Amino acid sequence: MTISLAEIFPYPEVRPVQAEMINVIRGAVSAGRHAALEGSTGMGKTIAVLCGILVSPEAADRRIIYCCRTHKQMDRVIEELRALRSRFHISGISMRGRREMCINPLVRRFAASAADAAYTCGMLRKLERCEFYENMLKQEERVLELQDVILAQPTTAGGLIDICREENFCPYELAKSALADVKVVAASYIYLLDPEIRPLFLRNMHADPSDLIVVLDEAHNLPEVAVELASGVLSTFSIASAAREAQEFGDELAYQVAKGLHELVDEMATERIGDGDGEELLRGREFLDAIADMLERAGLDIEPADIFEFLKRVGEEHMLYDLRRGRAPRSYIRRLATFLEAWDATSKSPQYMHIISRGTGRHGQPTVKLEVQALDPRIITSPVIDGAHSVVSMSGTLVPLDAYRDVIGLPEDTITAQFSSPFSSENVLALVVRGVTTKETYRAREMYDKLVDRVAEVTDAVPANVGVFTASYEVLEGLLDAGIANRVQKPLFVEEREMSSLKNDRLVRDFKSHAERGGAVLLGVVGGRNAEGGDYPGNEMNAVVVVGIPYSRPTKRTKAMVEYYESQFPGKGEFYGYYLPAHRRMSQAAGRAHRLLTDKAAVIFMDWRVATAFVKRSIPSWLRERLEVVQDEHGALARRLREFFGG
């Protein structure tokens, strides 16, 4: 049965831009096609996407998976479902990662990754050592009652966790038991993208990929998330820890192998990199051949692949031993084995590069790392895109849309659209400042002095808080060395390298507290947590200053990425592999202050290159269409800002 928009839209009126988006999505879903859409924050995308899908006849017998990056975004989906439910019945649930949903202390405290959490959880259930899971088996009737509650009212993961704490049930298992019956699942990307988790997730939903309509929210993150899921890192610290673990358990063969690997990796780093910091590419088979030689020298007549399997089995036995004694189930030997298996599996694939690097660890200690680095997001995204009925990608920073389509593997007939900004011209000021840049050849003290002068103009002219996001920590430190702390007249809060989440949260909280007390300045880095995930509505950020464009250094890693993209998309390799990721990170930082329609804020790009046609085409339309150039003249920037803010 087809549902009309008038029957379900839960708010007094549909904005024109929402109606436009709803029509585009309805058309895509009805035709079984994919869509890639750019629309700024504040236009009401979440409710528009849900309504656009639900009014399509094809949605009647299909399920919706709404993939998000943050818990806040998932909860927003459930809020909109509750609003929809005032007009017609719809069920939904949000799913965080297993590690975030689990209330078993062993999993919460010691599972380092989603895979670790899944493995530990499975072993705890098998050993009957999880009281929360066991309680559910003993109280089946109560579990069924709670499933009915979930079906009657769209439920957030946080709400589900609260219920389960009271009942002493497992939130993940309760959510899993409801998956088969709910219409909408708001979930972390990992549930659908991780190739190890996806099959089980779909099995729990009783769904085939073709039954799904998938929404990818904040889709500009997708290439990076996909590459990260397909990649892996192993440090000499982990290898040394594996050797110590083998000694503790008396596993002589595992000890010999881990010790030999540690020595081998150190030797290769010295041979390839020398004594200083740096990185070099390795041929995948080259490292495996070196392992085979190492095993032969040790008198071990065994193939590398067999030793990897042996190490994995030993590591799992150690984890099982710890679990039976109520201890944290952590095994560096198993981590070593799974990494080496991944290296072996990818060693001949052109979609991966293999890297050895020497640098400094989190606590200042020297370390060597091995990396299996995926080059192509489509390794992860293609199975989802190719299998689903429709995939709707949306973000405020997705242009150029054809580049996004290519990189994640959407077909040529994907429907693309950009939607006008709901922000009035009185609320958005976008400026590019001439005469300043962070281009490598211009990075001298004179340029940093000028940048500090221009930043001080902004902080003096803006009524409340200002965010300053630099292209790199090197640029941030250049501003500090040039005396920015003495030039700005507001309290300065500085993001640090390797800052803990707790310390960073305190920093941001203190910065925001000045919003109604004369303002403050937050100095951070483009691509950092405060420039990507933070929201600063109202006076929490009256202006965003983006200092430079975050182009990465032209390393061998970057060159390999560019060459791979060139092989896949001739003539576009450098743009896709080098320039576009930097432009997207810059655009994300620029959008931190405009979160609500009432927000009045300025965006200032302090790099003349942003005014060029080449860079401008990668900036969201709501900024690109308003972009003004400020001349290289002291005071010009402050005058324009005071004019905008009215004083």
Residue 381 has pLDDT above 70, yes or no: yes
Query: Does 47 reside within a domain?
Result: yes
Residues 207 and 349 in one domain: no
Identify which of 43, 96, 40 has the alpha carbon closest to the alpha carbon of residue 73. 96
Residues 465 and 520 in one domain: yes
**Rounded to an integer, what distance in angstroms lies between the CA atom of residue 362 and that of residue 539?**
35
Neighbours of 210 (CB within 10 A): 10
Identify which of 375, 376, 336, 379 has the alpha carbon closest to the alpha carbon of residue 355. 375
Per-residue pLDDT at 106: 78
CB 58 within 8 A of CB 206: no
Q: Which two tokens stand for residue 222?
A: 């997708």
Query: Does 12 reside within a domain?
Result: no
Per-residue pLDDT at 1: 57
Task: Tell which wins on pLDDT, 361 or 100.
Answer: 100
The whole-model pTM stands at 0.90
Residue 94 has pLDDT above 60, yes or no: yes
Q: How confident is the model at residue 155 (pLDDT cuts 50, 70, 90)?
A: very high
What does each C-alpha distance from 352 to 376, 404, 476 come to in angstroms? 8, 20, 32
Residues 263 and 399 in one domain: no
Neighbours of 3 (CB within 10 A): 16
Look over the chain and give the mean of its residue pLDDT values, rounded to a whole number.
92
Percent of the chain with pLDDT over 90: 77
Span 221-247, mean pLDDT? Answer: 95
Per-residue pLDDT at 211: 93
Model confidence pLDDT, tens digit, residues 198-233: 999 999 999 999 999 999 999 999 999 999 999 999
Q: Cβ neighbours of residue 555 under 8 Å, at least 6 residues apart? A: 279
Model confidence pLDDT, tens digit, residues 313-360: 999 999 888 888 877 778 999 999 999 999 999 999 999 999 999 988
Query: Does 309 reside within a domain?
Result: yes
Residues 280 and 199 in one domain: no
Identify which of 390, 475, 24 has the alpha carbon closest to the alpha carbon of residue 210. 390
Model confidence pLDDT, tens digit, residues 415-457: 999 998 888 889 999 999 999 999 999 999 999 999 999 999 9
507: left (phi over 0), alpha (psi -120 to 50) or beta: alpha
DSSP 346-388: HTT-TTEEEEEEEEE-TTS-EEEEEEEEE--THHHHHHHHHHS
CATH of the domain at 51: 3.40.50.300
Residues 472 and 619 in one domain: yes
Residue 265 has pLDDT above 70, yes or no: yes
Q: Note if the bond before 400 is cis, omega within 30 degrees.
A: yes
Q: How confident is the model at residue 375 (pLDDT cuts 50, 70, 90)?
A: very high
Task: Tell which wins on pLDDT, 285 or 326.
Answer: 285
Exposed, middle or buried, 407 (CB in 10 Å: 0-12/13-18/19+)? buried
Model confidence pLDDT, tens digit, residues 183-201: 999 999 999 999 988 999 9
Residues 436 and 369 in one domain: no
Span 588-612, mean pLDDT? Answer: 92
Per-residue pLDDT at 14: 92
Query: Does 461 reside within a domain?
Result: yes
Model confidence pLDDT, tens digit, residues 451-503: 999 999 999 999 999 999 999 999 999 999 999 999 999 999 999 988 888 89
CATH of the domain at 239: 1.10.275.40
What domain range includes position 42?
A: 17-89+185-224+378-419
Identify which of 80, 94, 66, 60 has the alpha carbon closest to the alpha carbon of residue 10. 80
Spell out a b/e string for 336-365, using b for 16 or more CB atoms within 10 Å of the CB, else e.
Answer: bbbbbbbbbebbeeeebbbbbbbeeeeeee
DSSP 151-219: HHS-B-HHHHHHHHHHHT--HHHHHHHHTTT-SEEEEEHHHHH-TTTHHHHHHHHT--GGGEEEEETTG
Query: Does 49 reside within a domain?
Result: yes
Residues 191 and 243 in one domain: no
Query: Does 635 reside within a domain?
Result: yes
Q: Cβ neighbours of residue 539 under 8 Å, at least 6 residues apart? A: 463, 464, 465, 515, 516, 519
Backbone angles phi, psi at 407, to 5 degrees: -65, -35
**Rounded to an integer, what distance in angstroms lies between the CA atom of residue 224 and that of residue 514?**
34
Residues 145 and 285 in one domain: no
Number of structural domains found in the chain:
4
Query: Does 636 reside within a domain?
Result: yes
Q: Which amino acid is at 116?
A: D
CB 620 within 8 A of CB 420: no
Residues 46 and 85 in one domain: yes
Query: 327 by DSSP, 3-state: which?
Result: coil
Q: How confident is the model at residue 647 (pLDDT cuts 50, 70, 90)?
A: low
Q: Which two tokens stand for residue 354?
A: 């293999």
Query: Does 117 reside within a domain?
Result: no
Residue 363 has pLDDT above 90, yes or no: no
Residues 561 and 436 in one domain: yes
**Rounded to an integer, what distance in angstroms lies between the CA atom of residue 213 and that of residue 184?**
10
Residues 73 and 146 in one domain: no
Centroid of chain to Cα 182 = 26
**Rounded to an integer, what distance in angstroms lies between the CA atom of residue 623 and that of residue 603?**
8
Q: In what order do the strands lie in the sheet with 352-360?
A: 232-235, 366-374, 352-360, 278-282
Residues 440 and 541 in one domain: yes
